Structures are given as structure tokens and as C-alpha cells.
Structure 1
Amino acid sequence: MEELFFNFINQFGYFAVGALIFIENIFPPIPSELILPLGGFFTTTTNMVLPGVIAAATVGSVLGAYILYGIGWVLNRDRLMRFFETKPMRLLGFKGDDIAKAIDWFDRRGQISVLICRFVPIVRSLISIPAGVARMNMVKFAGYTLLGSAVWNTVLCSLGAAAGSAWETVSEQAEWVSDIVKYVIIALAVVVAIVWIWKRIIPNLKKGA
């Protein structure tokens, strides 16, 4: 994968950086922790300049975020509530009201998470879906996404440029930090799942027995 990215950016420059980050926002397993330091490195060996790489990456980030925002917009509140009111979802402990409460919370207090989550692996992409479901103001969504993505892209691209031929060290360190965050997220998800099973699913099974 690294060689593929290297050749793609070497051949297509800014377009390649933007395209890869666009895809990374839609398909999170593609690591921006690899793409961005690599893009920064190319400013030391080609006629690409750091502001151009950062701009290309940020445009890719915003455009990719809007794809997932659009998916959330299509799903919308009513469709999700109907889905979670189906029998299989109710057996799993879900209720349509859960979705309504989650969306209402996002409207009141959660919109800033669009900015904060741009620094969190995987979540930085997925946060665009609830923003779309909640019909978050598109200008505000763009602003938060632009700001968060620009900061993230600037840091990693700049570190890659500063490291030069040692850009892989930056990538490895960034991936190491991202892995820790991922493990924390997974651990929290497991805890939430256990609590959910204990409080929602088991009581439903007892009622059905």
C-alpha cells in the first residue's frame, strides 16, 4: 500500500493527495497517518509546496465528509426511528425514542463533536453521518470540518516535510498514537455493549420467556 501511495502522489501530486484523503474519509481503513506525512515529504523532493499539499488534503477531507453527511441526510430521523421500532431491533433493546433522543442531543450539544472528532481515528469520518441525520446546518458543518481537518492535515504534513526522508518515522509514530486511541474506543464500545445487554436485551428476553 505504501508503494502504491508513493507512486500515485509522485505522479499526480496535489490531485493524488486530495483524492487519497477524500477516499480515506469515506473508507477509514486507508490511513491518513501514512498519506499526510508522505505528502509532506514530497515537498522536499518535488516542486510541490507545503501549503498546496495541506490545501489539497483539506479539500479532500471536506468533500469526503460531505459524502457521509449526505448518507446521513438520506437516512434521516424518521427512517431511522421506523427501523429501530422493528421487532428485531426491539429484541436487541433499541427503541425509536433512543434515536430521537440521540438526535436531539446532537442538535443541542453535539455539533461541536464534528470539530473535535476530526482528530480521532475512524470517528473523524463516521461523525459526518449523525451530522447528516440531524440535518446540521451545512455551513456550520463545513466550517467545523474545514477547521478540524486543516489542523490535522497541517500537523502531519508539516512533520512529514520536516522529517524529509525520515517521513516514515512520523507515519509510524502517528499510527502508534492512532492505534492506542482505537483500542480505547474499542474498549469503551465493549463496555457500552455489556451494559446495553445487561439493561436492555436480558430484560427483553425475560419478558418473552
Structure 2
Amino acid sequence: MLDLIPLAIFDASQFFQWFVENANYLFVFLFMVVESSFIPFPSEVVVPPAAYLACTNTGAGSDMNIFMVVCFATLGALVGAFINYYIALWIGRPVVYAFADSRFGHMLMINRQKVDKAEAYFDKHGAISTFIGRLIPAIRQLISIPAGLSRMNIGQFAIFTGLGALVWNGILAALGYWLSTTVSPDQLFEKVEEYNKYLTWFGYGIALVCLIFILWNAFKPKHKESL
């Protein structure tokens, strides 16, 4: 939620107002890089207002196009995801393996073989996990970390991360478009905050469906092969 952003970082409503007054493609790209990296930052204060301004032809973003907003937002999300991927690959991966080889790791029943097995699992199922993870609140930024730890194929990572980000940014842009037909600029932040709650529950719903699907496949009875 927008009101969960730490005030020590910034006041969400003040940033929202600043962004509305200064919106452009570069800022859409840069803030989506931040949103998709390890820094907690909500895409809801970037894409919907940018799409709103593009559709209403008002304010700083009056010369923007809603489709280009989605493109720049998706490109920024992909760059931010690569930051997490390579941090996990270059820093996190050696730490994980050092822990797996340590005496303390062995005491916790963690060893290199189990880490390799976890990597193999993510290598097999990581593509769809990366795509779906981009649609789930609080997971969007983190899903790039196991991808980096497991050395997920960089081409697959880019494709499925980009597709997931494109879908999510398309949803946010659609919200901005719809609000451009129903609310005035001074009501925009309040309405984005309100509808973001529904988007959050939508993301949790996706996570629940995925969890049920995984559990079903894990525990469903296996049919015996006919003789």
C-alpha cells in the first residue's frame, strides 16, 4: 500500500504530487528501475499518474503517450530486475555456497548437494515463477534474487521478467486511463491509493492460485502404469 512506504524515505502523497508536476519518460524509466531493484518503492505512484497525464493531455506529461509510458516502465523494471539478478549472482551466490559448506550450515542440514538440487529445481520451474512473481505484491522485486542465485538462463530471465512487468504495467496504465475518464487531478492520488488495495488483493489471489496448483501437483495421486 502507498501508506506503507516509510516516511523516512519520502512522503508518498508529496512524491505523487511532485511526479504529476514533473512527469516524463525519463522519470518513468528511472523510478521503475528503483521500484524493480532492492529499494522499496511502489510502481503505483509512477505508472498510473503518468498514464493519467498522457490520456488527459494535462500537466508535465501532456506530451506523453500511454503506450510509451508502459514501454519505458517495462524497460525500467527489466533494468532493475537485472540489478537484483547480478547482485544475487555475484555476491549472494558465493555467500550461499560458503554457508552450505560451513559447519554451521551442516548443523542446519544444509549442504552443497541440497543447494545444487534447489538450483536445479528453479532452473526447471524458474521461468513461470519469474513471470508470475512480477504480478505479486512484495514478490516483484525479490523474484530476481533466486533467479540470480540459481544462474537462471539470462535470456529466459529477460523474456519472462519483461513479460510479467509488461502485464503489470499494462494493468497500472489501464487504471490510469480509467481514472482519466472519471476523476479530476486533485482526486488522483486518493483514487490510486484506493484502487491499489484491489490490485494488491488481485496479486495475492494469483499467489494463492499458484500455491494451490503447486500443492496439487505435489500431492496428487500418481497413476500406476498399466502392465
Q: What is the TM-score of this pair, normalised by structure 1? A: 0.76
> Is 1:22–2:44 an aligned residue pair?
no
Query: Residue 143 in 1 paired to residue 156 in 2?
Result: no
Q: What is the count of residue pairs matched by the alignment?
A: 185
Contact in 2 for aligned 1:40/1:161 (Cα 8 Å): yes
Moved more, 38-47 or 91-100: 91-100
Q: Which runs of structure 2 are paired with 1:46-195 in the superposition (5 Å)?
A: 46-75=62-91, 77=93, 79-164=95-180, 165=184, 166-168=187-189, 169-178=191-200
Distance 1:33 1:175 in 2: 11
Indicate the structure with greater helix content: 1
In the alignment, the residues of structure 1 paired with residue 92 and residue 43 of structure 2 have an alpha-carbon distance, to the nearest angstrom, of 29
Match of 1:194 in 2: none
Unaligned stretches of 5+ residues in structure 1? 186-209
Say if 2:38 and 2:84, in contact at 8 Å, map to a contact too. no
Which residue, 6, 11, 19 being the options, matches 1:8?
A: 19
Aligned residue type for 1:118: R
Selected match of 2:52 from 41, 49, 55: 41
Answer whether contact 1:58 1:150 (CA < 8 A) is retained. Answer: yes
Which string of whole-angstrom CA distances, capped at 9 and with x for unpartnered residues, describes residues 141-184 of structure 1? 111111111111011112112212354324422235426867x9
Shift of 1:106: 0.5
Cα separation, partners in 2 of 1:3 and 1:179, compared to 1, 3 Å:
farther
Aligned residues with identical type, % of pairs = 33
CA distance in 2 between partners of 1:47 and 1:180 (Å): 31
Preserved contact between residue 36 and residue 141 of structure 2 (Cα < 8 Å): yes
Cα distance in structure 1, aligned partners of 2:144 and 2:174:
26
Secondary structure in structure 1 of the residue aligned to 2:64: coil
Tell me: higher relative CO, structure 1 or 2? Use CA pairs within 8 A at least 6 residues apart: 1
Indicate how the Cα distance of structure 1 residues 104 and 78 shifts in structure 2: closer, same or farther if over 3 A, else same: farther
Offset, 1:38? 1.5
C-alpha distance in 2 between matches for 1:110 and 1:127: 9
For residue 16 of structure 1, report the CA deviation from its aligned partner.
Answer: 0.9
Q: Secondary structure at the match of 1:125?
A: coil
Let me know the Cα RMSD of the aligned residues: 2.6
Q: Map Cα deviations across residues 8-39 of structure 1 (whole Å, 9 max, x no partner).
A: 35325111111111101114531112322122
**Which amino acid is 1:13 matched to?**
N
What TM-score does the superposition give when structure 2 sets the normalisation length? Answer: 0.71
Q: Do the aligned partners of residues 19 and 37 (structure 1) sit closer, same or farther apart at CA in structure 2, a change above 3 Å counting?
A: same
What one-letter code is carried by the residue in structure 2 that aligns with 1:175? Answer: K
Supply the distance in 2 between the matched residues of 1:22 and 1:78 (Cα, whole angstroms): 25
Unaligned runs of 5+ in 2: 1-11, 208-227
